[in-house]
Structure 1
Amino acid sequence: MINHRQTNSSVLAFQKQKKSVTFTQKHQIRYRRRLVPMEEKLIQRLESAVTRLESLSHGSNKPRGVTPDAASAASEPSIVAFDDLLVEFVVKVSASAQKIGGQVHDITNVLCQAFATQKELLIKIKQTQKPDAGGLAEFLKPLYDRLAEASTMSEGKRSDYFNHLKATSESLNALIWIAYAGKGCGMSMPIGHVEECWQSAEFYNNKVLVEYKNKDQDHVEWAKALKELYVPGLRDYVKSHYALGPAWCETGGTVSGPLKSSKPLAPNPPPASSLATSASSSASSSRPTKQGMAAVFNEISSKPVTAGLRKVTDDMKSKNRTDRPGLVSASADKEVHKSAPAASAKVGPPKFELVMGRKWVVENQIGVKDLSIDECDAKQTVYVFGCKDSLLQIKGKVNNITVDKCTKMGIVFMDVVAAFEVVNCSSVEVQCQGSAPTISIDNTSGCQLYLSRHSLDASITTAKATEVNVMVPSTDPDADLAEHPLPQQYIHTYQDGNFVTNPVSHSGG
């Protein structure tokens, strides 16, 4: 007899087991379907993270024997920061120079090229091994070319933008910090080098600020932008990224100096103080060895002292020769030495012209007593250069007058808006018939200055000047002019923690 209850219970148990198995299989299938895309996404995320880490640590944790390419080197933080320096400061100086134009714009373009060249060198440093002194000079040659170009533009005759040119030229020497090669290389630390070079350039930059403070704000803006480029711009950049100098690549390419040719060539001038070590190394290498000197002395001692000397007969002695005198007089010797400099001196062609309606140029006038500028205005300047034994009369009001490298020159002028300057002159006479707010006498020997009643309030500045006498009108209209010699000697005494300076007074007794 079949037990139906037991059979029914067995069937129910089998069905429950079948359902549980079916549920488990379905759950596993669903779980696997979910797991596959999750694993793929996780792997992709891990691969992207590893790629980012490798790109970020490419410069510092690169394997040995692998040199970063230019693209990866240009993306490093120090190069990106230099790009920020160019955008924030160099572009500002360039924009100010465009407003001024002329020589200021030209030399500012050279400045921009020099900074761009330094960026290229910084990228190459990350791909190059540290070279020796000769290789370093060759490596930095493009930068030296830019600096030499700026220096050439600031030399020669003084132009209206002389202070702009000198400020830019002197400041660009700060870029030589890149040549720092450690202690003993003859350079200051990179930060100190940048600050020292700017201190040298700031002398001329301050002159631009003073000259154009109340005249043209474009020049003031340019001067301020130039200062910000170096202090704090370049100084802070070097402090943040290259305080101890550039970091060369240990496994990069090499740089060698120029190949020596078989023909002797004229030596090139040293590129900068940073390469002073090359001079010491070349000097030490040029010393003869002990073995070579010993051989020389042995050769000398092996021969008689008089070997190789010719015998002088009586007719060869100076006292017995009839074709030339045996004694040279002292007067003849003086005449030879006196005429030599005059023969070697070169004088350019004389000029007397108005350049671009703004600048009167009077150059190389010798023995001309009737030079006269009759038509001029307050916006024009007068530049007198290389004149001798001549007289110039300026019959109108001008902005500025500069007398440079003149001898026995006389200048008579009416009114000056800015300043009257005498530089590198000897024995000049200057007469002011009107007013002049500032009179500057620099590196001049012998200057007679005649002032009118309207110019007694003038500020007279002297530097390295001797024999300077100022003639002023006396209170009595019928009396002669009163002469006042400006002192050139001073006494410095230490009093109450400070030095007190007083001019030396000479008694006529």
Structure 2
Amino acid sequence: MSEAALASVVKRLEAATLRLEEIARTKAPAGGPTPSQGADASAGASDGAAARAVSGYDELISGPLQEYMKLSASIGGLVQEQSQYFQEAIQAQRRLVEVAASSKKPNVGTIQESFKPIQTAVEKVTSLREKNRPSPLFNHLSTVSEGIPALAWPLVEPAPVPYVGEMKDSAQFYANRVIKEFKDKDASHVEWTKAYVGFYVELQAYVKKFHTTGLAWNPRGGDAKSFTGGSKAPAAAPAPTPAAAPASAPAKPAAAAGLFSELNRDGLTSALKKVDKSEMTHKNPELRASSVVKGADAPAPAPAKTFGGGAAPKAPPKFALEGNKWVVENQVNNQNIVIDQTELKHVVYIYNCQGSTIQIKGKVNAVTLGKHSPTNHKSLYFPQLTFSTRKQPDGSKKVGLLVENVVSTVDIVNCKSAQIQITGKAPTVVVDKTDGLQIYLSKAAADVEILSAKSSEMNVLLEGKDGDYDEKPLAEQFKTTIVNGALVTVAVEHKG
């Protein structure tokens, strides 16, 4: 065990000893506690639970965070830079947990002020990703930026635990892309994804243990606004200079963790305000504050086929450019959706549309049809702020999509009866949980790579010399045999 890890264990054991002494002092005598003894015991329980919440967060820093920082440093470049911003957010949140452990729950204004350092660091993480979309490490940057909204859990009441899990799943979506790309190239990138996603697994367990219904404040504490004390957080792996070797992460003391799991038995629930339906942004679109740029409404030439019919989605339709992201949502029987003001850095997300046709002109970075749509979580402390998750999949039905050129991927997720036409080039098409798909490919797109899973009734139509299309089915049934102890899988061909 390293010197730093040993010091960490000693520190926690000392805290455990103090806690046991505290329990012994406050234990009621046989004749029953006096009023003053009962008050001391209550205070000791509150203070002890609060102290354990801080030490539990320190374990997150000295364990999962250390591993992520170490692997980020070994990859270097933008990944390492983003990890430093992530570490800033973690240190800021550790400070907030410590303030809560020593203070009574303050007013909304004080909570807002306490959360700002976390918000600032989160914005650095997401901004770095948006500024570097052409980067070959874009999926790494997206993995981190999609997961980091989980750090808003102190503002989510009364159920922050599922919220952290939803953010972990969002990060996993891009982590899977990193794994696919690097599993045969560099195993350290795969380990990096495991370390980052693993941090949220541990964070979710921590929140469930200490902050079940929201950030736990100390009812016998002092004034949060005037809090100036605090202990020093354990240092995460430092960022090495280019010539230096990455710092090693100290081993997580399993024995000490087991000891503390026995000691941590105090409940941390408290009566907290529940958001009324009238305050929920996802139920009241007029409450949403966002700056959007409307897309052009010019008529669009239809792709191979247009659709009609289908029940109208309950949410209002949306067609807007938000930063570098085009969002097309809840469109019904609209054949004239044209995105023509495109740039190379733009991405297009199409959610929950039915019986509609979307045309994308020019070259964009990526297109996603039917990906999980954001679900807004209202914050009690930031009424103007919502936190996006991807809780429920909003697939599309009977949609036609006409695309010219795509730099990275076209994703089709959770759709039914869709038709996609690529008139230029697109290196990759990813199909997941989709039934009934026609993919029309131009001659220029003949070198496309198509990845499919959990999908059926898929056909690819290749443009021929005379302009006609030759239809070929995508395999959806496979046969696996054992050859010399190894599994051999081939697509099943149906003839006749």
Q: TM-score range by the shorter chain?
A: 0.3 to 0.5
Larger radius of gyration: 1
Q: TM-score, with normalisation over the residues of structure 2?
A: 0.47
Give the TM-score normalised by structure 1: 0.46
Of Structure 1 and Structure 2, the greater helix share is in 1
